[in-house]
Amino acid sequence: MASIEEKVEEHYKKILDELGIRHYGKTESINRTITDALRSADSKSGGSGNNYPDIQLLLENKTARRIPVMIEAKGLKNRLEKISKSGQIELITYYEKDSKRKDGTIQHHAGDANYSSIMNYAVNGAVHYANAILDSRGYTEVIAIGINGTQMNADGSVQDAECRAYYISEKNNRVPKHIPELDKEWSLLKADNLDRFFAMLDKMTLTEKELEDLRQRTETALETKIKSIHQSLYDDPKLRTALTTNEKLYLFCGLIMVGLTTKGVAPLDVNQFTGNDDQEDNDSTIIITRIRSFLKKKKCGDDKIRMILDLLQPVFKKETLWRPVNGESILKSLFKQVKQDIIPCLESNLHLDFTGKILNSLGDWVHIENDRENDVVLTPRYVTTLMAKLARTNMDSFVWDRAMGSAGFLVSAMDIMIKDAQAKIHDQKELEKKITNIKEHQLLGVEILGNIYILAVLNMILMGDGSSNIYNGDGHDYNNETGKFPATVFLLNPPYSADGKGFNFVQEALEKMTSGYACILIQENAGSGNGLPYTKKILEKNTLCASVHMSDIFCGKSSVQTAIYVFQVARPHEVDDMVIFIDFSNDGYARQNRKKSSQEVNLRDADHAAERYAEVEAIVLGKKPRTQYYTEENGLVIRDTVSLNGNDWTFAQHKVIDTMPTEEDFRKTVADYLAWKVSQAIKGDGGYGV
């Protein structure tokens, strides 16, 4: 069947003409910004050719808000749009499994551009053009429209014209939001209707499910790309032994810093690497200079800048990295990969523990060198988020972590605090002021390991300069002077090799708080006596609210059984206080420990994991759950008291096993016995009748 693409294009151009809407054709230019953006992006086939949208518009309302519209036409059956199995407009092909190269090494796939879908489907092509414009940073929002048809009337018009429109914006992390009103007719694009139309677009925000799906896709892509780059380091014989694990961490951090877009500092471009073969003037000096500028623009103090540079400079000054081979240094080739694959994952407002993902990805290959007790096990994001919610975190909370690792708890808390502020504060200036205060003054973390500390600093910088209260030192030595940091939320996954399995950190921190809640992820048997004397001391001034027996959340990274303990601060526990005990061993996730596989492979939502986590949150916070996976009737929730001795906090210690046989037990036993007698009689083995 021949395509009627040109007729479809003419059909919709006629509609625009009738509405009095100015439009531009394939070879016409709206303005230099849009033209350059389309020219510099990969073509629809993945090559270096230009991009030519069939129809282009530029909407502009009375306040000079401008939104480009990219329209792509097709003229064949079922060519309007291609949707992936996950329900996304298919621009990328995702792989469930890694593949093996001919030499036996592993090729990690986060997803490759699906140029077939981009070329052959109208919506997919239009979204490709929209992303090209957003990449140029000249615009932060674009509308993508796909049009199609297969049949013509006798007069040459299109009989079955169809349209699908999407709003794509940076505020929504480029997740396309469907505009159903434009599918039917385009009068909203008229100049007189643009204010109303733009107001509609402003209400199009991502749902919590869409945000979570996007987080998971971004995390998976980031993890896979990091592993791919690490594999390239390992495959190079010169680098395999030249870089330690710590140095790989520093290498990643430095390359990320110089690649990020920062106000006042243009991101480093690949073309700026000179490839000079000189000890004093080479690609490493370019990077170190740019790192210093980056940290200053992020308002890091002199001590912090000095410490970070002391860690990074020896790595970047390694001659193997900066000395050019055939005109190009290893630093330049690595930066190309980071710029192309890592930076796009980081420049979002998703508030993820990105550097924790880097640490875990490298930790899958080799243990962290100065982790003598094997204590560096980073808490998964879905657990840090749950714990921040269980501690009643809101926009006015002051959150601290005295053994913060890569700052995963602080990142999750920040995300909750900002969302709470966005929901409650409607004045834009007041909201911006509050968010700045949250990032700069309402979060505090302490980390003793220097190589992990630098990850925390980078993590908080990525969140928008939340590094003001991030300290390198021993959490025991940090003195929270009265009024210096009025902590109301304490979140912690302590080193289990510490005294009381880590409860010494908890007891010390709670002594310095005057109100609020604490949520601790710790080896569960710390609550059955191994956390003494600290657990007993904690109850003297704080109330144990809940004990949650966790699933195998550290699958393959740690073999300990963990529990979450929730406390109300500064209220002594009374002997008749009821504590909520929950068996959360089945949390809905299926886990594997395939070291070089992606998160999608190793962590899979097999049985309503999101709903199960929401239910546990509701139970602990005293709210009505929407689901009934964990109830007193099925024995997975127990409400009971604890002693004041601090040694009976685990779910198992409060689970009552009823040994009294019931009438049903008796009936089953008799039935089993009679069945056995019958089988014996049939076989002739028993010699008895029945």
Per residue in 531-578, pLDDT tens?
A: 999 999 999 999 999 999 999 887 755 678 899 999 999 999 999 999
Within a 10 A sphere around the Cβ of 231, how many other Cβ atoms? 17
pLDDT the model gives residue 21: 94
b/e sequence 428-455, b meaning 16+ C-beta within 10 Å:
eeebeebbeebbbebbbbbbbbebbbbb
Contact in structure between 147 and 162 (CB atoms under 8 Å): yes
Query: In terms of Cα–Cα distance, which of 613, 532, 516 is closest to 571?
Result: 516
User: CB neighbours of 473 closer than 8 A, spacing ≥ 6?
Assistant: 446, 447, 448
pLDDT the model gives residue 645: 96
Query: In terms of Cα–Cα distance, which of 146, 115, 114 is closest to 130?
Result: 146
Backbone angles phi, psi at 675, to 5 degrees: -65, -40
Q: Which two tokens stand for residue 614?
A: 């929401």
Chain mean position to CA 647: 36
pLDDT tens track for 621-663:
999 999 999 999 999 999 999 999 999 999 999 987 766 677 7
Query: In terms of Cα–Cα distance, which of 18, 337, 8 is closest to 157?
Result: 8
pLDDT tens track for 299-344:
777 888 888 888 889 999 999 889 998 888 989 988 988 888 888 7
pLDDT band with cut points at 50, 70 and 90 for residue 258: confident
Q: Which two tokens stand for residue 125?
A: 């092509």
pLDDT at 529 over 90: yes
Query: In terms of Cα–Cα distance, which of 204, 163, 265 is closest to 67?
Result: 204
Q: How far apart are alpha carbons 597 and 137 in whole angstroms?
A: 34
Lowest mean pLDDT among 309-323, 499-513, 544-558, 586-600: 586-600
pLDDT the model gives residue 489: 96
- Radius of gyration over every alpha carbon of the chain, rounded to an integer in angstroms: 30
Only one residue has tokens 């909201």, namely 431
pLDDT at 519 over 90: yes
Q: How far apart are alpha carbons 493 and 505 in whole angstroms?
A: 10
Strand 112-113 to strand 141-148: parallel, antiparallel, or no bridges (unpaired)? unpaired
pLDDT at 442 over 70: yes
pLDDT at 679 over 70: yes
Helix or strand or coil: residue 284?
helix
pLDDT band with cut points at 50, 70 and 90 for residue 88: confident
pLDDT the model gives residue 265: 66
pLDDT the model gives residue 595: 55
pLDDT the model gives residue 659: 61
Query: In terms of Cα–Cα distance, which of 590, 515, 578, 513 is closest to 551?
Result: 590
Lowest mean pLDDT among 161-165, 357-361, 397-401, 670-674: 357-361
- The size of the chain, in residues, is 690
Residues paired with 146 in a beta bridge: 72, 164
What are the CA-CA distances from residue 50 to residues 41, 307, 319 (Å)?
A: 8, 46, 40
pLDDT the model gives residue 688: 37
Contact in structure between 260 and 294 (CB atoms under 8 Å): yes
What are the CA-CA distances from residue 466 to residues 254, 307, 406 (Å)?
A: 18, 17, 13
Contact in structure between 438 and 488 (CB atoms under 8 Å): no
Q: Residue 344 carries which side chain, given as an amino acid letter?
A: P
pLDDT the model gives residue 354: 63
Instruction: Give 637's DSSP letter.
Output: E
pLDDT tens track for 443-473:
998 887 776 777 777 777 766 654 567 777 7
Strand 443-447 to strand 162-169: parallel, antiparallel, or no bridges (unpaired)? unpaired
E-only strand ranges, 27-176: 55-60, 66-73, 92-93, 99-100, 106-107, 112-113, 141-148, 162-169
Q: Which two tokens stand for residue 136?
A: 């140029």
pLDDT the model gives residue 456: 77
Q: How far apart are alpha carbons 681 and 454 in whole angstroms?
A: 76
pLDDT the model gives residue 357: 64
pLDDT top residue among 295 and 147: 147
pLDDT top residue among 310 and 232: 310
Q: How far apart are alpha carbons 557 and 635 in whole angstroms?
A: 30
pLDDT at 681 over 60: yes
Contact in structure between 202 and 125 (CB atoms under 8 Å): no
Please tell me the number of Cα atoms within 13 Å of 34 on its side-chain side.
Answer: 21
Chain mean position to CA 57: 34
DSSP H helices in 317-353: 319-322, 330-337, 343-346
User: Exposed, middle or buried: residue 494 (CB in 10 Å: 0-12, 13-18, 19+)?
Assistant: buried
pLDDT the model gives residue 351: 62
Instruction: Give 341's DSSP letter.
Output: I
Contact in structure between 487 and 512 (CB atoms under 8 Å): yes
Query: In terms of Cα–Cα distance, which of 186, 334, 131 is closest to 251?
Result: 334
pLDDT tens track for 472-493:
776 666 655 434 789 999 999 9
pLDDT the model gives residue 658: 64
What are the CA-CA distances from residue 232 to residues 39, 70, 318, 648 (Å)?
A: 31, 38, 18, 50
Element housing 521 (H / E): strand 517-523
Of all residues in the chain, the percent with pLDDT exceeding 90 is: 42
Helix or strand or coil: residue 148?
strand
Q: How far apart are alpha carbons 101 and 80 in whole angstroms?
A: 36
Of all residues in the chain, the percent with pLDDT exceeding 70 is: 86
Query: In terms of Cα–Cα distance, which of 179, 15, 22, 148 is closest to 82?
Result: 148
Query: In terms of Cα–Cα distance, which of 525, 535, 530, 522 is closest to 564?
Result: 522
